[in-house]
Amino acid sequence: MVDSFSRIVRLGEGVGATGQLSDAAVERTVNALGVCARKMRRRGVTHSRLVATEACRRASNGDAFVRRAQEQTGLALEVISHDEEAALAVRGCAALLDPSARRALVFDIGGGSTELIWLDLTGPDGPQVLGWTSLPHGVVTLAERVGGGCIAPDQFDAMVVEIEAELAPFEAAHDIARDVAQGAVQMLGSSGTVTTLAGVHLGLERYDRSRVDGIYLDFADIERASRVLLGMDCAERAVQPIIGPGRADLVVAGCAILTAVMSVWPVGRLRVADRGLREGILRVLIEGERPPLRARAA
C-alpha cells in the first residue's frame, strides 16, 4: 500500500427519511473525492475502479450525484448492485477464511445497509456463495431513527429485536443455525463496528490495523465492549481515540446490529476483518477479471 485516504462523509445521511442525498452530504463527499483524485494523479494511477453502494442505490438523486462527482473531480463512479458488493467483499476477505470450517457467515455493517453472505468453503475453487441478503439498516440509518446520544437499554434492546426479525427470513431460507449447532461455521465481520469493538477490547490508545485485522473475538468480549460503549453518552464516546467524533453517534447502532447477528447465529466467536470491498476491488484489478461469485441458491 503506497497511499491511503479515508474520511467520514455520511453520504447517506437523511436518505431514509427523504429518499434523497442532501446537499450538505453531497458537498462533503465531492470534496473528499477531490482529495482522492489529486492523490491518484500524483501517484500516476493507470488502472482504477470507483464504486458507490447503498446510498446511491436508494437515493432518487444518486445519478445526479455521480454526474456532479465526475464533473468536479474527473472520477467516474459506478453504482454497483447488492450482489456484486457482496461478491467483492468476500473476495477482499477471503484470505481470513479458515479452510477447516465447512461454512462461513460473512457480514458487513455499512452506513445504509448490512450485507450478509453465506459461504460454502468445501469446494475446490474457493468460497462459493450459497446465499446473501442485504438489510435496509446500517449504522447511519439506524442511528438517525433513535438518536446517537444517550441510548437507553430498552431502546438498544428494541433495535436488537427489530434486526433479529429482519434476519429471520435469511435463517429460514438457509438453516444456518443447524450448521452453527454442529460447529461447522466460521463468522467473519467486516465493518467499522467490529474493528472499533476490537480496539476497545484491546484497550488501544489509537487504532492499529496490524493488531486488529484478523483477530478473533469471543462473543462475551464483544458484549462487554458493547456495554462499555452503551454506558457512555455521545460526548464521552467522541473523546475516545479509537472512536472519535465522526463515529461517536453511530457505533451503538452498529453494536445493536452485531448483537442481533450474534443472537440469531451463536457461533461463539468471530474473526475481525479490517478489509472488504476495497480490497476485493484491488484483487480483481491485480489478478484480472474473473466471473463474479454467484449464489447457488437464492
pLDDT, mean of each 10-residue run, the chain (298 residues): 88 88 96 97 94 93 97 96 86 90 93 91 86 89 76 88 96 97 96 92 91 96 93 88 85 94 97 92 82 44
Query: Strand 185-189 relative to strand 103-109: parallel, antiparallel, unpaired?
Result: parallel
Alpha carbon distance 122, 197 (integer Å) = 30
Minimal CA–CA distance to 146: which of 253, 2, 251? 253
List the grid coordinates of 16: 431514509
List the grid coordinates of 239: 473523546
* Residues 6 or more apart in contact with residue 70 via CB below 8 angstroms: 76, 77
Give the Cβ contact number of residue 287 at 10 Å. Answer: 9
* Residues 6 or more apart in contact with residue 256 via CB below 8 angstroms: 142, 156, 159, 160, 163
Instruction: Go through 15-51 and write b for each residue having 16 or more CB atoms within 10 A of its CB, e for each that does not.
Output: bbeeebbbeebbebbbebbeebbeebeeeeeeeeebb
Is the four-CA dihedral 232, 138, 273, 155 of positive or negative sign? positive
The C-alpha torsion from 89 through 90 and 95 to 98, rounded to 10°, is: 140
Domains contained in the chain, CATH given: 15-79 (3.30.420.40), 82-282 (3.30.420.150)
Instruction: Determine the pLDDT at residue 290.
Output: 54
Rg of the chain, C-alpha, whole Å: 19
Note the pTM of the prediction, 2 decimals: 0.84
* Residues paired with 132 in a beta bridge: 117
Helix, strand, or coil (residue 80)? coil
Left if phi > 0, otherwise alpha if psi is -120 to 50, otherwise beta: which for 173?
alpha
Alpha carbon distance 57, 138 (integer Å) = 14
Strands, E, within the chain: which ranges? Answer: 51-52, 78-79, 103-109, 114-120, 128-135, 185-189, 216-218, 269-272
* Sheet with 128-135: strands ordered across: 128-135, 114-120, 103-109, 185-189, 269-272, 216-218
